[in-house]
C-alpha cells in the first residue's frame, strides 16, 4: 500500500576413493581357478567389468516414489477484516438500542437484511444509503446513524502477525465484504500499510462466499489457489475459498490461527 502507518497501541566418513568399495572391488571377486596355476612372469588376466561390484545409489523414499504429491507451499495469507483484524463491541450496539427504546438485536437484524446488505457489499448502493435505509425500516434514523458511526477496535497482535508473515516473504492481503468506505477506513485505522493488498467486495462486485470474489483475488495476484491460505470468522464464508482450491481455515482466535499457519509452513 506504501502509505505510512499510523500508530496502533498494543493490548566424518572417509572420502570415496581412499577406502571406497569401488577401489577394493577385487577383494570380493574370486579369480578363475586357472589363475592359481599361472607361471611366473605370465600376464594376469583382467577382471571382467561385469564382475566388478559398483555400489548402488541408496534409494531414499520421496513423496513421488511413495505415490504422494508434494504439498504446495503457502505463499499468500488472506485475512477477513471484521471479526479477524478489527472488531466491533456488541455492548455498544446494545446501549444504542436501549437509549432508543429498540428491542435487543433490532439494529443488526435490519442491517443484515436483504436486499440492503447484498446491495451495499456488492457496490450497488453506498454505505450512506444503506444506513439511511436501516433507519427508515426501523423508524429510528438517529439510532441507525449512531450505530453506523461505531468505531472498531483494531487488534494490534493481528497486525504484528501480518508483519511477521511479510518478513518471511509471504504476501498478506485482506478480502472483506465491505462498503464503498473501506479504503478510507483501513487507511485511517492503520491497517492498509500493514498488508500488501485490500480486496473489497464493493469494488469487486461479488461478495463472499461467492467463488467469483475469491477468483478475483487469485487473478489479481496471479497465483494458484493451492498456494493461498484464507481465514474468516464466519465458517459459511469459507465455501468459495475451498471451491477455488485455497486452504480455508475458520478463525477462532490468534493462538489457534498461528498454530495452523505453522502447521502449513507459512510460519515457523
* Same domain for 95 and 80: no
Question: At what angle are helices 156-167 and 254-263 packed, to 10 degrees?
Answer: 10
Residue 180 lies in a domain: yes
* Same domain for 135 and 83: no
User: Largest alpha-carbon pair distance within the chain?
Assistant: 121
Report strand pairing: 153-154 vs 86-87. Answer: antiparallel
Residue 141 lies in a domain: yes
Question: Pick from 131, 148, 165: which residue ends a domain?
Answer: 148
Confidence grade of residue 149 (pLDDT, cut at 50, 70, 90) = very high
How many folded domains does the chain comprise? 2
Domain of 110, in residue numbers: 90-148
The neighbour count for residue 89, using CB atoms within 10 Å, is 12
Residue 71 lies in a domain: no
* Same domain for 128 and 248: no
Residue 94 lies in a domain: yes
CA 59 to mean position of chain CA atoms: 35
d(CA 186, CA 189): 5
Q: pLDDT tens-digit profile of 225-249? A: 999 999 999 999 999 999 999 999 9
- The residue among 76, 72, 20, 18 whose CA lies nearest residue 228 is 76
* Same domain for 227 and 104: no
d(CA 238, CA 245): 11
* Same domain for 194 and 130: no
* Same domain for 125 and 180: no
Residue 132 lies in a domain: yes
Q: Is the pLDDT of residue 17 over 90?
A: no
Q: Is the pLDDT of residue 201 over 50?
A: yes
d(CA 62, CA 184): 50
Q: pLDDT tens-digit profile of 21-37? A: 333 333 443 444 444 44
* Same domain for 129 and 157: no
In angstroms, what CA-CA distances link 102 with 92, 105, 139, 230?
13, 8, 10, 37
Contact 221, 171 (CB under 8 A): yes
The model carries a pTM of 0.76
* Same domain for 237 and 170: yes
Question: Which residue do the cell numbers 464466519 mark?
Answer: 234
Question: Pick from 98, 131, 148: which residue ends a domain?
Answer: 148
* Same domain for 214 and 105: no
Confidence grade of residue 49 (pLDDT, cut at 50, 70, 90) = low
Question: Pick from 122, 148, 174: which residue ends a domain?
Answer: 148
Residue 23 lies in a domain: no
* Same domain for 184 and 137: no
In angstroms, what CA-CA distances link 241 with 80, 109, 173, 235, 268?
12, 26, 14, 11, 24
Mean pLDDT of the chain: 84
* Same domain for 144 and 157: no
* Same domain for 114 and 198: no
Secondary structure element (H or E) that encloses residue 86, with its range: strand 86-87
Q: pLDDT tens-digit profile of 68-94? A: 667 789 999 999 999 999 999 999 999
Return the CATH number at 212: 3.40.50.1000
Amino acid at each position: 500500500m506504501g502509505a505510512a502507518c499510523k500508530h496502533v497501541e498494543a493490548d566424518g566418513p572417509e572420502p570415496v576413493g581412499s577406502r571406497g568399495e569401488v577401489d577394493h572391488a577385487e577383494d570380493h571377486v574370486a579369480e578363475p581357478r586357472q589363475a592359481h596355476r599361472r607361471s611366473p612372469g605370465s600376464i594376469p588376466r583382467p577382471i571382467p567389468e561385469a564382475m566388478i561390484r559398483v555400489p548402488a545409489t541408496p534409494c531414499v523414499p520421496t513423496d513421488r516414489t511413495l505415490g504422494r504429491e508434494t504439498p504446495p507451499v503457502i505463499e499468500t495469507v488472506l485475512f477477513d477484516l471484521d471479526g479477524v483484524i478489527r472488531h466491533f463491541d456488541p455492548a455498544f450496539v446494545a446501549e444504542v438500542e436501549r437509549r432508543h427504546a429498540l428491542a435487543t438485536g433490532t439494529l443488526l437484524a435490519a442491517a443484515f437484511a436483504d436486499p440492503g446488505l447484498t446491495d451495499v457489499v456488492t457496490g450497488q448502493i453506498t454505505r450512506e444509503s444503506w444506513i439511511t435505509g436501516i433507519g427508515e425500516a426501523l423508524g429510528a434514523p438517529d439510532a441507525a446513524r449512531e450505530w453506523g458511526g461505531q468505531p472498531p477496535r483494531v487488534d494490534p497482535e493481528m497486525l504484528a502477525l501480518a508483519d511477521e508473515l511479510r518478513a518471511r516473504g509471504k504476501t498478506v492481503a485482506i478480502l472483506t465484504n465491505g462498503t464503498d468506505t473501506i479504503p478510507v477506513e483501513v487507511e485511517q485505522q492503520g491497517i492498509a500499510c500493514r498488508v500488501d493488498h485490500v480486496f473489497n467486495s464493493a469494488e469487486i462486485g461479488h461478495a463472499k462466499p461467492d467463488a467469483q470474489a475469491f477468483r478475483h483475488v487469485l487473478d489479481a495476484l496471479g497465483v494458484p489457489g493451492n498456494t493461498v491460505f484464507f481465514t474468516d470468522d464466519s465458517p459459511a464464508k469459507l465455501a468459495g475459498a475451498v471451491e477455488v482450491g485455497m486452504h480455508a481455515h475458520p478463525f477462532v482466535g490468534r493462538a489457534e490461527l498461528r498454530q495452523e499457519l505453522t502447521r502449513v509452513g507459512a510460519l515457523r
